[in-house]
Amino acid sequence: MSIEFLVATAVGVMSAAGIYLVLRARTFPVVLGLAFMSYAINVFLFASGRLVINQPPIYGKEVTAYTDPLPQALVLTAIVIAFGMTALVVVLALRTYLETGTDQVDGLADTPEATPPPPEETAVLGPEPPSPVAPSREAGR
């Protein structure tokens, strides 16, 4: 089995898992899905410079073949950004859950009896009008 097949399968499986999880209704699977997608992308970016085994990325005197160093730098940047964003979205999801009592991504209440009433919004624009947001179409999962 070639290494290309293995890497491609890994990217495919991780992307599929990521997309499936991102489409879930609750924040925790969505965060996991985003993490999976970023892993898939990191491996994919790495492979975009072609897969080479046992070759150095930088100049050496006796070296004739190299691996592409640029994707490695890109992956490094992508990892840092994805890591920071995952941290942000975790904090945001947690804060939303604590403030509104629901961890549904579309912001709908879980079940009427289990949900504490959301605290009064400290709106800048004055009180909310009667029906500020049209109910989302993905309701009721």
Q: Which residues bind another protein (CB under 8 A)?
A: 22, 27, 30, 34, 37-38, 41, 44-45, 47-50, 70-71, 74, 77-78, 81, 84-85, 88-89, 92-93, 95-96, 99-100, 102, 105-107, 118-119, 121-133
What 3-state class would DSSP assign to 126?
coil
Nearest to 18 by CA among 42, 1, 3, 35: 35
CB of 100 to another protein, least distance (A): 4
Nearest to 105 by CA among 92, 122, 87: 92
The number of angstroms, rounded, from the C-alpha of 119 to the middle of its chain's C-alpha atoms is 29
Q: Which residue lies nearer to another protein by CB, 5 or 62?
A: 5
CB of 30 to another protein, least distance (A): 6
